[in-house]
Amino acid sequence: MLAVLVEVGIAAGTVSGASSLAADVSLINVGSKKFTESVILGEMLTLLVRTTGAEVEHRAQLGGTRVLWNALLTGDVDIYPEYTGTLFREILADANLTSLTDLRAALAGHGIHVSRPLGFNNTYAIGMLAELADSLHIRNISDLTRHPHLRLGFTNEFMDRGDGWPGLRDHYQLPHSDVRGLDHDLAYRGLVAGNLQVTDFYSTDAEIAYYGLRVLADDQRYFPAYQAVILYRDDLAVGSPAILGNILKLEGRISDAAMAGLNARAKIERIPESRVAAAYLAAELGLAVTVPRHTWWQRLLRHTGEHLTMVGISLLGAVILAIPLGIFAVRQPRVGQVILGIAGILQTVPSLALLVFMIPLLGIGAPPAIMALFLYSLLPILRNTHAGLSGIAPELRDSAEALGLPANTRLWRIELPLASRSILAGVKTSAVINVGTATLGALIGAGGYGQPILTGIRLDDVGLILQGAVPAALLALAMQGLFEMSEKIIVPRGLRLPQQG
Amino acid sequence: MLELNQVTKSFGKIQAIWPLNLSLARGETVALIGPSGSGKSTLLRVMIGLVQPDQGRVNVDGHDLDAANVQQLRQRMGYVIQEGGLFPHLTASQNLSLQAQHQGWQAERIEARIAELIELTRLPVDILERYPMQLSGGQRQRVSLARALMLDPDILLMDEPLGALDPMIRAELQIDLQKIFHSLGKTVVLVTHDLAEASFFTTRLILLHEGRIVQEGSFNELCHEPATPFVAAFVNAQRALHPGEPEVGR
């Protein structure tokens, strides 16, 4: 059963993922992480590639370091901005590297190159509201040990990283027990609202000045340098010297202050990252770059297309597999219980985790999202097919058999029509769940309505969030309506009649 | 026409049918009677292959029923159950046509046969396009009977066909059924728990108790010469419903 699923998955991947997996040399994919600075740098790289005349796509705000690193290794992404500290402490932590030269050699082993630093150091920093810090006389991270009751809230990535909270706690012997993980962009709001008092941020974050935050001094030198660099693949270095030459123009050209300023323009002044990036390239490098403009309407159309593709293909695949499996499960009750059990377990895997599991198999973009949604859709359809068929009254089964009709005829003319309402309800459930879950696809580069939601959360922009959330909700309602209408076509009329008195 | 030879059946630890023999001549009607759980319905289901006997043989017109020929032999048996067993998603006419369509009959032939059957079962023509939910209980049983007769089978197996009907309709259908049985000369096995109904259709009553035949005979024989105290008790319990007739055994 698992083997079947994996095979189907791989087959789906090779069909729909063909453009990203088969070396499409003419298209360059730039990646970025889901925080504003990374997106701005990604936009700069995208614009720099585009000025060479190459086809380029920015797969913006992907889930996190692992997603991007794996995508770079598989070639789903050709270029993305990274930080030296992350490379030393996280990506290549096992290698115990100390110098940039070692790093260069270690990356070369993976077929990856690294640029020289871009100029700014965006290290992790620990901080709190300046007012509160003053009243408690906290200046350094080590001062926190005197205040064990402070509420600490860190970004989820910081909570888990080797160079994050666990290391920091051990290094400074911090005694705090009230520590929780949350989204980076929510942390600032949490600080202002008083829900938490200490958080991590990046030293170039625009919010530091905006919210009046105090960066605590790393007095015992825990955090390494997080110099921004560009990672790119071997084949880009070899095959496209013009592109490479262009992107390396960024080396040493962005200072700490400049980056904080760019972040502020995007996050606080709400200027789109592409325009922030273009303006900087024009001013700093004298490059006249054009930013393709998309209207609100075009973006909605694109997201709708992406969303419908994800939901449609995954649902179709699930219907094709789950209905026959459900029929099989009724005929072979023992194997059937195993099949239902496996589908049930799949359903309990958290959706984000399932999405990320698919990346090593299918890369990033629509294929892994479709595969994950497909797996999620199986259970409701499977269970309802099983329930619909096994719920057929015994006397009707007997009557069908007593008429001497063969099993196939009984299935198509009697059993499936009688179970149609239940099966259709299962498909409807899957469809509606899919529409919602597909918004997470944006985290692994599949686009869809999740894209504006993700950007909206990052920029604290309710309007943007609604641009994704409202169409997603409307689509779910439309699905519901569509299925209720199709019930009139699919469920036989005789089953929809009221009982006569 | 129909013969059971040393047939047994158990469900888990419960012995539903003890070794049992039964033989029906062509055109004969027998009634299997007995209380709930006596094994009469199971026996009927064994005859049409819905239940596989643990041991013994079922012989239909010279052919032993087995997995290979069961579909074929079922075409020669009609099966009618208490609630009719009509498929609710199909109209009366679709219910009637199912079997013939599977046999590859032409539409005209099916239509002609349906016309014969609704006349025989005294159904109004306009019920043909109705769904089972839109029919009365009596109409449903008539359609069910017509469906069982569609391929003109030799044998009719009926499991409490009148059990769910109210008394007036029941009496009316009883008379119609008897006429049909006689006019068509079918071999009929009727399962019922109602002694009076059984005796209305036939003089060959077979009383079952806990999976065994306890007595076979006419209504009078059962009443006046009960083979066991159970037979007397069964008959008396039914007679109590019809006061004015003398109790058995006095």
- Domains of chain A, earliest start first: 23-121+226-285 (3.40.190.10), 124-216 (3.40.190.120), 296-495 (1.10.3720.10)
Determine the Cα–Cα distance for residues B240 and B226; give it in Å rounded to an integer. 16
pLDDT given at position B243: 53
Structure tokens at A288: 């006249």
* Chain centre distance of CA A288: 32
| Residue A413 C-alpha, separation from nearest chain B C-alpha, in angstroms | 9
Q: What are the pLDDT digits (tens) for A365-418? A: 899 999 999 999 999 999 999 999 999 999 999 999 999 898 999 999 999 999
* Chain centre distance of CA B52: 18
pLDDT given at position B159: 92
CA distances from B181 to B153, B158, B164, B186, B189 (A): 12, 12, 20, 6, 11
A65 with A86: CB under 8 angstroms?
Answer: yes
Average pLDDT over residues B217-225: 89
pLDDT given at position A353: 86
pTM listed for this prediction: 0.77
What are the E-state strand segments in A203-342? 213-216, 228-233
Determine the Cα–Cα distance for residues A300 and A303; give it in Å rounded to an integer. 5
Judged by a CB distance cut-off of 8 A, whether residue B45 touches chain A is yes
Chain B residue numbers with beta carbons less than 8 Å from the beta carbon of A499 are 133
Put simply, the answer to whether B91 touches A401 (Cβ < 8 Å) is: no
pLDDT band at B152 (very low <50, low <70, confident <90, very high): very high
Give residues with Cβ within 8 angstroms of B53, minimum separation 6: B7, B8, B9, B17, B46
Chain A residue numbers with beta carbons less than 8 Å from the beta carbon of B91 are 494
pLDDT given at position A64: 83
Chain B residue numbers with beta carbons less than 8 Å from the beta carbon of A412 are none
pLDDT band at A1 (very low <50, low <70, confident <90, very high): very low
- The rounded mean pLDDT for chain A is 87
| pLDDT reading at A449 higher than 50 | yes
- The rounded mean pLDDT for chain B is 89
| Residue B33 C-alpha, separation from nearest chain A C-alpha, in angstroms | 20
Judged by a CB distance cut-off of 8 A, whether residue B105 touches chain A is no
Comparing CB atoms, the residue among A395, A492, A493 nearest residue B85 is A395
Chain B residue numbers with beta carbons less than 8 Å from the beta carbon of A492 are 89-90
Beta bridge partners of A215: A127
Average pLDDT over residues A81-91: 90
Put simply, the answer to whether A494 touches B135 (Cβ < 8 Å) is: no
Determine the Cα–Cα distance for residues A447 and A369; give it in Å rounded to an integer. 10
Average pLDDT over residues A338-367: 87
pLDDT given at position A499: 58
| pLDDT reading at B47 higher than 60 | yes
Average pLDDT over residues B122-151: 93
The label of the residue with tokens 């007595």 reads B215
Which has the closest alpha carbon to A231: A361, A112, A329? A112
As a whole-number percent, the residues of chain B with pLDDT over 70 amount to 96
Determine the Cα–Cα distance for residues B223 and B235; give it in Å rounded to an integer. 6
- Residues 411-430 of chain A with CB under 8 A from chain B are 413-414, 417-418
Put simply, the answer to whether A399 touches B132 (Cβ < 8 Å) is: no
Torsion angle, alpha carbons of B194, B200, B206, B210, to 10: 0
A2-16, A75-89, A206-220, B110-124: lowest mean pLDDT where?
A2-16
Put simply, the answer to whether B133 touches A398 (Cβ < 8 Å) is: no
pLDDT given at position A223: 86
| Residue A333 C-alpha, separation from nearest chain B C-alpha, in angstroms | 18
| pLDDT reading at A10 higher than 70 | no
Nearest CA in chain B to A407: B71
Determine the Cα–Cα distance for residues A284 and A282; give it in Å rounded to an integer. 6
Torsion angle, alpha carbons of B73, B76, B79, B85, to 10: 80
Judged by a CB distance cut-off of 8 A, whether residue A488 touches chain B is no
pLDDT given at position A7: 36
Average pLDDT over residues B19-27: 90
Judged by a CB distance cut-off of 8 A, whether residue B201 touches chain A is no
Determine the Cα–Cα distance for residues B15 and B32; give it in Å rounded to an integer. 18
Chain B residue numbers with beta carbons less than 8 Å from the beta carbon of A414 are 87, 89
pLDDT band at A16 (very low <50, low <70, confident <90, very high): very low
Reported ipTM:
0.89
| pLDDT reading at B247 higher than 60 | no
**Of residues A458 and A243, more confidently modeled:** A243
Q: What are the pLDDT digits (tens) for A35-72? A: 899 999 999 999 999 998 889 999 998 888 888 999 99
pLDDT band at B97 (very low <50, low <70, confident <90, very high): very high
What are the E-state strand segments in A84-155? 112-114, 124-129, 152-155
CA distances from A90 to A9, A97, A157, A160 (A): 30, 11, 11, 10
A185 with A458: CB under 8 angstroms?
Answer: yes
pLDDT given at position A5: 36
Comparing CB atoms, the residue among B98, B131, B135 nearest residue A405 is B98
Give per-residue burial for A343-375: e unless 16+ CB within 10 Å, then b: beebbeeebeebbbebbeebbbbbbbbbbbbbb
pLDDT band at A164 (very low <50, low <70, confident <90, very high): confident
Nearest CA in chain B to A496: B89
| pLDDT reading at B56 higher than 70 | yes
pLDDT band at A6 (very low <50, low <70, confident <90, very high): very low
| pLDDT reading at A329 higher than 90 | yes
Nearest CA in chain A to B92: A494
Put simply, the answer to whether A402 touches B48 (Cβ < 8 Å) is: yes
pLDDT given at position B240: 65
| pLDDT reading at A129 higher than 80 | yes
Which domains does chain B possess? 2-37+50-189+201-215 (3.40.50.300)
Determine the Cα–Cα distance for residues B179 and B47; give it in Å rounded to an integer. 24
pLDDT band at A501 (very low <50, low <70, confident <90, very high): very low
| Residue B139 C-alpha, separation from nearest chain A C-alpha, in angstroms | 12
Chain A residue numbers with beta carbons less than 8 Å from the beta carbon of B191 are none
| pLDDT reading at A310 higher than 90 | yes
What are the E-state strand segments in A130-282? 152-155, 179-182, 198-202, 213-216, 228-233
Comparing CB atoms, the residue among B77, B79, B91 nearest residue A399 is B79
Beta bridge partners of A30: A58, A79
| pLDDT reading at A124 higher than 90 | no
A365 with A310: CB under 8 angstroms?
Answer: no
